[in-house]
Amino acid sequence: MKYKLLYICLFLASLTFAQQPQVKVEVDTSNIRIGEQFQYKISVDATENVIIPKLENLKGLEVIDSLKIDTIKNKLVQKYILTGFDSGAFHIPRQQIFIRNQVYLTDSLLINVTTVPIDTTKVKKFPIKGIKGEPYQLDDFKQYIWWAVIALALVALLLYFFVFKKKKEKQEEVIIPLLAPYEEAMQKLEELDKKLLWQNNQVKKYYSELTDIIRGYIERELHVPALESTTDELIDILQDFNNIKSIETTKETIEKLKGLLQESDLVKFAKSKPLSHEIEEDRKDAKYIIDHLKPKKQVEEDNVE
């Protein structure tokens, strides 16, 4: 009875062993000369859930090509083309093959790489040649290029200072005389009228340019920062000037200016839309303000004349 059980166990073990997939490696030659190629083949007795990684840890040998995996009679065959460029004996180490999430190791193989023998008796001898110089490259001329750039820059500077600059100095400068503040303001008002801004529904732009003309006139004529001041700040400055009699104007003029500036602020920031007759009245007030807002000196000179 004991022998029967032993035979049964051995039979089952042999069946289990027979079902295990086999991994085999082979080369078409184990002896090559430097630079010659040989084939390394891995065969696996399975086709499903098989992973053949890339060749690793090759020392002294190189992979020239990795061929496509073939399926031959329920086997997977992976072929590689290898070579070696150093003489010596080199091992192709054991490779890991994964089959159904289990690791199988291949055998390692020894490859002998030999040098090509040379028959020196049949080699034709030639005289020793002279030293051949290397071809010139851009780096060889870098220092000369920099010197050339510096020289050209110096020449350009000399030409500029001694030729072009002197010619420029000889040319007469055309100076356009500035208009007097009053004349400039009147001219700008006429140009503004020609633009027909408010007539074309550009009321905001019209008031912005109209008040800029008045502020620019006040800044030039009275030497105050009218363009940068708020409405209240500018009115306070003019009232102070009027109180100390440093300008020649009236309270009515300052009130007209205040009303015009406030109307402009409403148009620009509160989207107010004045009527046509109101816009025309503001235009008249603008000219009135410029006519009746002058420094005291100028008024006295005008009276003397």
Strand partners, 104: 97
Q: What is the pTM of this model?
A: 0.43
Query: What is the structure's pLDDT at 194?
Result: 93
Q: What is the mean pLDDT of the chain?
A: 82
The confidence score (pLDDT) of residue 5 equals: 59
Please report, for the chain, the start and end positions of each structural domain, with discontinuous segments joined by +. 18-114, 181-298
Q: What is the pLDDT of residues 103-143, one digit of tens each?
A: 888 888 899 999 877 666 666 666 777 777 677 776 777 77
Q: Smallest Cα–Cα separation from 62: which of 51, 54, 74?
A: 54
Q: Which CATH class is domain 18-114?
A: mainly beta
CB of 213 within 8 A of CB of 289? no
Q: Which two tokens stand for residue 224?
A: 């105050």
pLDDT tens for 186-245 read 999 999 999 999 999 999 999 999 999 999 999 999 888 989 999 999 999 888 888 888
Q: What is the pLDDT of residues 256-270, one digit of tens each?
A: 999 999 999 999 898
